Amino acid sequence: MRSTFRVLFYTKNQAIKNGRVPVMGRITVNGTTASFSCKRDVPIALWDAKGNCAKGKSEEARRLNRELENIKAQIGKHYQYLSRSEERFSRNAET
């Protein structure tokens, strides 16, 4: 069975503190979502809502984008591992 999987990042704009907002993540699998805090914050002016990342080439923006890509890659690896485990479990249950 084919499933849908997506990871995106956004800011929690209601929690502005000193011009900075927390970066949040959302994982969607087959229409079911789970949100989490990335434990990072960003100046509100640096966040690109359409791109789901920090904009610009400043050191802070590049560092944050690297961290977000790392988080996304780790989530993807865990999803692939769980998908393979589920496939093995399903095949063993059929026999």
- Parallel/antiparallel/unpaired status of strands 20-29 and 5-11: antiparallel
Segment 39-52 mean pLDDT: 95
| Residue that wins the pLDDT comparison between 50 and 94 | 50
φ, ψ dihedrals at 58, nearest 5°: -65, 160
Beta bridge mates, 27: 7, 34
What is the average per-residue pLDDT within 74-86? 90
16: CB partners within 8 A, 6+ apart: 44
Q: What is the mean pLDDT of residues 70-88?
A: 89
Taking the CA atoms of residue 50, residue 56, residue 57 and residue 60 in that order, the dihedral angle to the nearest 10 degrees is -90
53: its two tokens = 């990342």
